[in-house]
Amino acid sequence: MNGQRDSLPVWHPSHPIPSQLTEIRMALDQMFLKAANFESARQSIEATLNGDITTKRILTILKGLHTHSSVIPDLPGDNGDHDARYVLKRFLAAFISEGYVNLLSTVWDDVQFSISNAKVPAANYPSWEAFTANTNAYAFDVDEYIDLQENELPHAWKENTVVYPHLHIAIKSENTSGAAAYAKFTVYLTIANKTGVFSETPVSGEVEIPDGAPALTHYTIPLETVDLDGYKIGSIIKPRMKRIAATGGTEYADDVFILQAGIHIEKDTLGSRAVYVK
């Protein structure tokens, strides 16, 4: 391209150059081959991104196509050329204005609740003990609990979706019982919408610790899921975490280090378009 770096097309003030038209047509062919209807257009763009055209390039192509509507090729369908151009024009306008906010597909992330700075109750509290040679952690016996710092669901969260609480733990000593042992936990999630009333939802999970598992073995324990249908950004989650009696088999005899509580969430944007509106 006359000394230009082959990274992003350069859009001329009047019309794209032929190589750019070719790239546009290729992108459109892929979009419409895979798009059964208007609603699937975004998914077809994602399919195009999985090919040879990078994210930055496809966004630039679409932006140029929106600017130069005269280069939109004829589209298949009975008496649909005009309507298809109109729908595509409207879609591209929306995509370009939102394309740097919306994610083309959802991704996963953690809302994390630190254990080390949690508040202990007056009784039935875990002990702060040596974890490794130079670090400490809270060690939990059965029926001991702790209150964790509350967190706000991030603005990137996909509203009204199911969330996935989980724990990260490590066993204090090797399991030498001669059989598998078990440790079980409940997290009480107190949740309120932006203008809602707090209510409590307990979720539990249990881990099997194989015979011979060495001290400080790390386990991730999935807890029961929570359906946050109706909840929006600005919602607050405040947890209490407790070790409870095992139900799957013989209780693991020693204390268990609980290192972190987290909630896996689905994200569909980089953030929100307004402070309190997704």
- Residue 97 and residue 130: Cα distance in Å, rounded? 53
Q: Is the dihedral of CA 10, 15, 17, 18 positive or negative?
A: positive
pLDDT digits (tens, 9 = 90+) for 147-171: 999 999 999 999 999 999 999 999 9
The whole-number pLDDT of residue 224 equals 98
Helix (H) or strand (E) holding 269: strand 256-269
Confidence of residue 78 (pLDDT cuts 50, 70, 90): very low
Q: Give the phi and the psi of residue 263 in degrees, each rounded to 5.
A: -130, 120
Angstrom distance (rounded) from CA 130 to CA 20: 63
- Helix (H), strand (E) at residue 256: strand 256-269
> Is pTM beyond 0.85 here?
no
Q: What is the mean pLDDT of residues 105-130?
A: 94
What average pLDDT does the segment 184-212 reach?
Answer: 97
Most confident stretch, 4-8, 53-57, 232-236: 232-236
What CA–CA distance (Å, rounded) separates 24 from 140?
A: 60
* pLDDT band, residue 278 (cuts 50/70/90): confident
Distance (Å) of CA 62 to CA 39, 105, 221: 17, 18, 44
Between CA 49 and CA 46 the distance in angstroms is 5
CA distance 259 to 176: 23
Residue pair 256/170 in contact (Cβ under 8 Å)? The answer is yes
Residue 2 has pLDDT above 50, yes or no: no
> Does residue 4 register a pLDDT over 80?
no
Taking only Cα atoms into account, the Rg of the chain, rounded to an integer number of angstroms, comes to 27
